Amino acid sequence: MADVTGDAETLATLDAVFREERGQVVATLIRLTGDWDLAEECTQESLAKALEHWPADGIPRKPGAWLTTTARNHALNRLRRKETEFAKLREVASLAQLKDHDDVDQSGIVDDRLRLIFTCCHPALPLDGRVALTLRTLTGLTTAEIAHAFLVSEATMSQRLVRTKRKIRDAGIPYRVPPPHLLPERVNGVLGVLYLLFNEGYAASTGEHPTRHELCAEAVYLTRTLARLMPGEPEILGLLALMLLQDSRRSARQDEAGELVLLEDQDRGRWDAAAIAEGVELLDVAMKLEAPGPYQIQAAIAACHATARTAAETDWPQIAALYTRLAQLVPSAVVELNRAVAVAMAEGPAAGLTLVEALAASGRLDGYHLLPATRAELLRRLDRRSEAAEGFREALELARNPAERNHLARRLAEVTHPRAPHSRFDGP
């Protein structure tokens, strides 16, 4: 048994090393060969080789360099076999040139991973392709795992990856870190992809698909990597803080039956204190750089929730003020709706309802279930029960997430029940 445990430990260590190094090896190989498929295949081969040698020989001092060199040699051999093609000949030459260098330039490697992130998240690529390719190349997730996480077939996901890589090649999307004048916009684009990835996992991490939390973990990992590669970027730190603060509530967000537990009802003792501490610290570092942005503000809002010892102690006026600031930076009806909820908590349900009614009248959130749900919740708190019931019914027609549907159904039952239940407000 001891041997088995030892093997399992070795495998776990190797797994951690692979996870840490894989993205970098792929990134460097793409730069060297200009061929994404070849880069992935050769990286896979180098990992297989490591799995063969490392358990006996031990993990090399620079595992990344070992893997890169091995993958490069695989690529070299493969390209040699295809020497007839002119374009590849040139690559062979550059590979041969690099072959003798044992030391891999560390700064080059850092650049490679950034190159890869920026290329995968290029705005000319379709959004679903950006997300999929980022996951495929920079994390250890297989195509099958990514397909599973996005609830599509493996064939569909495989096609999506092929099309995305083809567009990079055929449209001439450069493999590089964008020049300074493009950087702010492109960093924003990368952060958008990472946050989408996080939300994809977070929104669905209760109810039917608890396993999608994998996506949150990968999003945190990638944002952490980006923060390390581009230090001193306040919005990257802000996004990382935001993810950590939101994710800190993971285990308190659902009960034993898998039902959604609202923020106010969550057992705060089950929140991840270490994640909250790190999130708050990152946010502090970001804010000291004095360049506020949407992610930092959202992280600040999340921090208000995360640091309130009880739901009643939540600093709602501060949250309402932060939403006002956020709405100025990112004009969005969803932000306005959240602001209305914060105002309701700070100044009373009637004040919030006025804002919600104005939003409803604007038609900007037609079809969004949280609009009637929020309106119904405020009406319930004002004891306008029949109007509240109407709103919950409307929301039920629009909501798709099973956990949210259950919650709305419970609320509807409460307001249509003859005896008034305890009157409390639960924000979305």
Partner 1 sequence: MRYLMLICGTESPDTPVDLEEDLDEDTTDWAAEMGRRGVREQGSRLRPTSTATTIRTENGELLVSDGPFAETKEQILGFDLIECADLDEAIEVASRHPVVKSLGGTIEVRPLWPT
List the beta strands (DSSP E) in 178-327: none
Q: Among residues 184 and 207, whose Cβ is nearest to partner 1?
A: 184
**CB environment 308-326: b (16+ within 10 A), e (fewer):** beebeebbbeebbbbbebb
Question: What angle, rounded to 10 degrees, do the helices at 106-120 and 2-33 form?
Answer: 80
Distance CA 135, CA 63 (A): 22
Angle between helices 349-362 and 333-347 (to 10 degrees): 160
Q: What is the nearest approach in angstroms of partner 1 to the Cβ of residue 168?
A: 9
Pick 178 or 372: Cβ nearer partner 1: 178
Tokens (6 digits) for 214: 């994998």
> Angle at CA 319, nearest 5°, toward 313 and 324?
160
Q: How far is the CB of 123 from partner 1 (least distance, A)?
A: 9
Q: How far is the CB of 170 from partner 1 (least distance, A)?
A: 6
The residues with which 260 forms a beta bridge, in sequence order, are: 254
Residue 153 φ/ψ, nearest 5 degrees: -75, 160
Q: How far is the CB of 28 from partner 1 (least distance, A)?
A: 20
End-to-end CA distance of the chain: 50
For residues 174 and 171, give the distance between their C-alpha atoms in angstroms, rounded to a whole number: 9
Structure tokens at 18: 């692979």
Q: Shortest Cβ distance from residue 296 to partner 1 (Å)?
A: 28
Neighbours of 339 (CB within 10 A): 22
The nearest distance, CB 284 to partner 1, in angstroms, is 35
Contact 213, 250 (CB under 8 A): yes
Smaller CB distance to partner 1: residue 82 or 169?
169
Taking CA atoms, 108 is separated from 27, 105, 111, in Å, by 10, 5, 5
In the complex with partner 1, which residue's Cβ is closer, 126 or 421? 126
Considering beta carbons, is residue 124 or 151 the nearer one to partner 1? 124
Nearer to partner 1 by C-beta: 172 or 269? 172
Among candidates 123, 120, 148, which has minimal Cα distance to 135? 120
Q: Which is nearer to partner 1, 151 or 182 (CB)?
A: 182
Point out which residues bind partner 1 (CB under 8 A).
122, 124, 170-174, 178, 182
DSSP reduced 3-state for 257:
coil
The nearest distance, CB 185 to partner 1, in angstroms, is 11
Q: Which is nearer to partner 1, 167 or 325 (CB)?
A: 167
What is the CA angle 387-390-393, rounded to 5?
Answer: 155
Q: Measured between alpha carbons, how far is 315 from 287 in angstroms, rounded to an integer? A: 19
CB nearer to partner 1: give 31 or 339.
31
Cβ of residue 80: shortest distance to partner 1, in angstroms? Answer: 24
CB contact set of 145 (below 8 Å; sequence gap of 6+): 214
Contact 229, 113 (CB under 8 A): yes
Closest separation in Å from C-beta 39 to partner 1: 19
For partner 1, the closer of residues 177 and 320 by Cβ is: 177
